[in-house]
Structure 1
C-alpha cells in the first residue's frame, strides 16, 4: 500500500478501531449491534422527515429502541414536525456547552430524538474535528439503541454524503415527480462513483397506487442498471393520504394519530419488513468510509 493510500485509510463505523500510527485524527468505531440507517433524498419536499418520524414510531411499537438523529444540520425541523421544543440541540454540542446525551428528547411512543439546529449557517460547514467529535459521542450512545435512523438533508452536499457514507444502509426516498427521480439518481451516482456505495434501498412516497410506485422503482432501476454499478432494492411505498397533511398541521405522526389510515398501514408494513431484513451492507473490513474525501 502506498503512502497516499495509507493517508486515506478508511474507517468503518461498525468495526473495531484500526491501530494506525500514521493517522492522528480518528473516530471511535460504532461497534455495537445497532443498525444505523441513513434515510435520504436527492430532492427536498419528498416527505423524508415525515417518513423518518413515522417509520421510527412504527419500529418503536414493535419493541425496538429507536434513536432518530436529525442530520439536517442547518435547517433541522424534525422537532417542529413532532411538536417538540427542545431546549438544546446539536449546535450546543458543537460549541462545547453540552454533550450528545444532554440534548436527547423524548418523541412520540418510544422514540428518542437528537435535534438539529435551525437557521445556524455554520452548522452546514462542520470541520473534520467537529464531525469526528459527533461520531465519537454517538458511538458511546449506540449500545442503548437497536436502530438509529439518520434523517439527512436533501441533495449532495458534503454533510449529506458524510452521513450517508457513515451508515450501515442507505434508504433513498423518492416521489413520482420527474425532478425527484432525477435527483435521486444523481445522489446515488455521486455516492457510487465518489464514495463507492453500491447498495441502496428505495422507498417511494406520495404515489397514487402501488402500481405507480412500482413503475417509479422500475424506471430508476433500469437507468441505474445501465449506467451505475449499484444494486437497488425496492423496499416499498407510502401511498398518498390526505390524513398525513392533517397530522403535519397538528404536529402528530399519522401512525399515532390515526393508526388505521392508508399511510399508517403502509408504515406498519414497512416496519415489519425492516425487522425481517438484514443490513444491506454487511459489517466487515470491506465497508469503506474515506474521511479525506468526505471532509
Structure 2
C-alpha cells in the first residue's frame, strides 16, 4: 500500500473560495494522473456536492450513525475524483465532539482503494473539527484573500492551530487577487506578522486570480477546471497542482491522529522490510 499525501484546505473565514480551491485542486491533480479522494469536512454545511451539482443518497452522518460504511457513500466527480459528501443543514453534525471526529479519521483507513492524494475541505474558522482534521493531515493549505478580515482571520487560525494542535508549518494560497505582485505582497504582510509574534513557518503556495469564468462555473454547478480548462483560474489551479505534486510524501505517521494511519504504518513496515 502506498503512502497518501493528505492536504487540509482551510480558511479563517467563509467566502474566500476555499471549497472552490479544494474541488479544482482535486480535479487538476486527477488530470495529472493522480488518484484523488476529496472529503467534504464541513460536516454540517456541506458545499462540495452543491458546487458540483451532485445529489448524494448517503453522507458522513449515515456512517457515524452506523447505517453504512464509508465506502458506501463514495461518489465520482469530475476527472474521476472520488468524493466523500458531508451532511447539509444537520446541526448535530456541526457540533460533533473529538471522539466523532476521530471516528471519521479512522474510517478513512478502512477504504480499500489506493489513493495518491486526499484533499480535506474543512469548515471555515477555528472549530474543533478544523483543528482535528488539520492535525490529521500532512499539509495545511490556508486560503487567504486581500480582505482585511480574511487576513486577520487567517492569522487567528494559524495562531490557534499552532497553539492547540502543535502545527508549525503552513502553506499559504492567495485567492481572488489581480496580479502576481498583489499576491506576493499579501503573503509577505501575513508572513511578517506571523514571524514577529508566532513560532511558525509560512510558505507561499501561489495564487488564483480573480476570474469571471469562476462565477460562470459556479452558476453551472461545475468545476471551472472542467468547464473552462483554458481560463486564467484553471491555468492557476493547474500550476497549484504542479506545486502540490512536488511536496514530498510523508515517510510515516507524525505521532498525531492521522488519515490513513493504518495504511501509512503498513507502508512503513514494508519499506523497513525491504531496506
Please, what TM-score do these two structures have when normalized by structure 2? 0.90
User: What residue in structure 2 maps to residue 69 of structure 1?
Assistant: 39
How many residues are treated as equivalent by the alignment?
258
Select which of 74, 77, 91 maps to 1:104. Answer: 74
Q: Does the 8 A contact of 1:34 with 1:142 survive in 2? A: no
Structure-2 change in CA distance of 1:285 and 1:81 (3 Å)? closer
Per the alignment, in what secondary structure is the counterpart of residue 109 of structure 1? Answer: helix
Q: Does the 8 A contact of 2:75 with 2:82 survive in 1? A: yes
Q: Distance in 1 between matches of 2:216 and 2:168?
A: 37
Deviations 1:252-281 (CA, angstroms, capped at 9, x unpaired): 1111111110001001111111112225xx
Q: Which runs of 5+ in 2 are unaligned?
A: 259-275
Select which of 53, 57, 80 maps to 2:50. Answer: 80
Greater displacement, 177-186 / 269-278: 269-278
Please, what TM-score do these two structures have when normalized by structure 1? 0.84
User: What residue in structure 1 maps to residue 195 of structure 2?
Assistant: 225
Deviations 1:29-56 (CA, angstroms, capped at 9, x unpaired): xx85011110000010000001111110
User: What residue in structure 2 maps to residue 239 of structure 1?
Assistant: 209
User: What residue in structure 1 maps to residue 105 of structure 2?
Assistant: 135
User: What residue in structure 2 maps to residue 41 of structure 1?
Assistant: 11
Q: Which runs of 5+ in 1 are unaligned?
A: 1-30, 291-295
Structure-2 change in CA distance of 1:178 and 1:128 (3 Å)? closer
Q: Distance in 2 between matches of 1:127 and 1:177?
A: 31
Select which of 210, 222, 226 maps to 1:256. Answer: 226
The alignment status of 1:277 with 2:247, answered yes or no, reads: yes
User: What residue in structure 2 maps to residue 15 of structure 1?
Assistant: none
User: What residue in structure 2 maps to residue 11 of structure 1?
Assistant: none
Per the alignment, in what secondary structure is the counterpart of residue 154 of structure 1? Answer: coil
Q: Does the 8 A contact of 1:36 with 1:168 survive in 2? A: yes
The within-5 A match list for 1:1-295 is 32-141=2-111, 144-278=114-248, 282-283=250-251, 287-288=255-256
Report the CA distance between 1:195 and its aligned residue: 1.5
The root-mean-square deviation of aligned C-alpha atoms, in Å, is: 1.6
Q: Does the 8 A contact of 2:38 with 2:81 survive in 1? A: yes
Q: Distance in 2 between matches of 1:102 and 1:83?
A: 19
Structure-2 change in CA distance of 1:97 and 1:49 (3 Å)? same
Greater displacement, 131-140 / 35-44: 131-140
Per the alignment, in what secondary structure is the counterpart of residue 207 of structure 2? Answer: strand
Runs of 4+ more than 3 Å apart: 282-290
Q: Distance in 1 between matches of 2:2 and 2:188?
A: 35
Per the alignment, in what secondary structure is the counterpart of residue 222 of structure 1? Answer: helix
